[in-house]
C-alpha cells in the first residue's frame, strides 16, 4: 500500500483511497481477509478511519462485511463485470465521438504525449506503469468532453472491470495489443472521424469480456461462484 501522506483529503478519505487502490491493484486478492489491525499498523492510524474506509469499500462492492467472520475482499462477479463493461462501452463510445468532432490542437498534443509514454513503458516492460498510462488515456478522452463528472462516473461503474483488467495486462502480448487498439482510436480522433473512432473503441472494449471469461476458466477461485478457502490480506 502507498503512504497516506502522499494523498490529500481527510484521514478517513486518505485511508479509503489507499486501501481501495490496493484492492484494485490486487495487493489484496479476492477472498482475502481484510484485517483492520495490520492496516492500522501499516498506515500508522487508529481503527476509526479504517472502519470508515471499510464501510465505504463495502458500499463500492469491493469488500464484504460478514457478521461474526470479519471483512473479506469481494470475489469477482461476472454479472457485475458484464454490467460494468456494458456501461463503460456506452460512455466510451459517446466520448470518442464527441472528442473526434471537437478536438483542439492542445488536446491532440496531450493525447500524443500519452501515446508516446505508453510505447516507452512497453519498451521498459513496466506493466504497472502502462496500466496507469492506459487509465490516463481514457481519462483524457473523458476530460476533453468538457463534462466534469464523466470520469468519476466511469470509474464508479468500472470498479469490478478494472480489477479484472489488472490480471489481464500481464498476459503475454496483451499490452502491445492494447497499445495498437489505443493507436487506432487515437488516429481516428486525430483524423476527426467520429464513426471510425467509435468502431475502434468498440473493438477495444470488445476484447474485455472474452478475455475475462478465459480468466474465469483459468482462475475460478477468484470468482464468486466458487468455495475456496479464505486467505489473509496484508
- Same domain for 66 and 175? no
Domain that holds residue 102: 78-218
- Same domain for 14 and 120? no
- Same domain for 181 and 113? yes
- Same domain for 86 and 193? yes
Total domain count, the chain? 2
Backbone φ and ψ of 162, nearest 5°: -65, -35
Maximal C-alpha separation, the chain? 58
- Same domain for 118 and 50? no
Query: What is the domain-level CATH number for residue 28?
Result: 1.10.10.10
- Same domain for 91 and 65? no
Q: What is the pTM of this model?
A: 0.83
- Same domain for 104 and 66? no
Backbone φ and ψ of 36, nearest 5°: -70, -40
With respect to residue 69, please indicate whether it lies within any of the assigned structural domains. Answer: yes
Query: What is the domain-level CATH number for residue 206?
Result: 1.20.120.530
From first to last of the 234 residues of the chain, give the pLDDT tens digit: 676 666 667 888 999 989 998 898 888 889 999 988 999 999 999 999 999 999 999 999 999 988 777 899 999 999 999 999 999 999 999 999 999 999 999 999 999 999 999 999 999 999 889 989 999 999 999 999 999 999 999 988 988 898 888 888 788 888 999 999 999 999 999 999 999 999 999 999 999 999 999 999 999 999 986 444 444 454
SS (H, E, C) the chain: CCCHHHCCCCHHHHHHHHHHHHHHCCCCCCCEECCHHHHHHHHCCCHHHHHHHHHHHHHHCCEEEECCCEEEECCECHHHHHHHHHHHHHHHHHHHHHHHHHCCHHHHHHHHHHHHHHHHHHHCCCHHHHHHHHHHHHHHHHHCCCCCCHHHHHHHHCHHHHHHHHHHCCCCCHHHHHHHHHHHHHHHHHCCCHHHHHHHHHHHHHCHHHHHHHHHHHCHHHECCCCCCCEECC
Domain boundary residue, one of 74, 109, 127? 74
- Same domain for 88 and 62? no
With respect to residue 230, please indicate whether it lies within any of the assigned structural domains. Answer: no
With respect to residue 44, please indicate whether it lies within any of the assigned structural domains. Answer: yes
Amino acid at each position: 500500500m502507498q503512504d497516506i501522506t502522499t494523498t490529500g483529503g481527510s484521514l478517513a478519505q486518505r485511508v479509503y483511497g489507499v486501501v481501495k487502490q490496493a484492492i484494485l491493484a490486487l495487493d489484496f486478492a479476492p477472498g482475502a481477509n481484510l484485517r483492520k489491525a495490520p492496516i492500522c499498523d501499516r498506515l500508522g492510524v487508529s481503527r476509526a478511519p479504517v472502519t470508515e474506509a471499510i464501510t465505504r469499500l463495502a458500499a463500492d462492492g469491493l469488500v464484504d462485511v460478514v457478521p461474526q467472520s470479519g471483512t473479506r475482499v469481494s470475489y469477482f462477479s461476472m454479472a457485475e463485470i458484464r454490467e460494468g463493461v456494458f456501461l463503460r462501452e456506452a460512455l466510451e463510445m459517446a466520448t470518442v465521438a464527441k472528442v473526434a468532432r471537437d478536438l483542439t490542437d492542445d488536446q491532440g498534443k496531450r493525447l500524443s504525449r500519452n501515446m508516446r509514454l505508453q510505447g516507452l513503458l512497453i519498451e521498459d516492460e513496466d506493466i504497472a506503469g502502462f496500466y496507469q498510462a492506459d487509465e490516463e488515456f481514457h481519462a483524457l478522452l473523458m476530460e476533453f468532453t468538457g463534462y466534469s463528472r464523466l470520469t468519476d462516473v466511469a470509474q464508479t461503474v468500472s470498479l469490478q472491470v478494472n480489477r479484472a483488467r489488472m490480471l489481464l495486462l500481464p498476459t503475454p502480448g496483451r499490452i502491445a495489443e492494447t497499445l495498437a487498439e489505443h493507436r487506432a482510436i487515437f488516429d481516428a480522433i486525430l483524423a476527426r472521424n467520429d464513426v471510425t473512432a467509435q468502431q475502434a473503441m468498440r473493438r477495444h472494449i470488445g476484447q474485455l469480456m472474452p478475455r475475462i471469461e478465459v480468466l474465469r476458466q483459468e482462475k475460478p477461485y477468484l470468482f464468486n461462484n466458487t468455495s475456496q478457502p479464505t486467505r489473509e490480506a496484508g
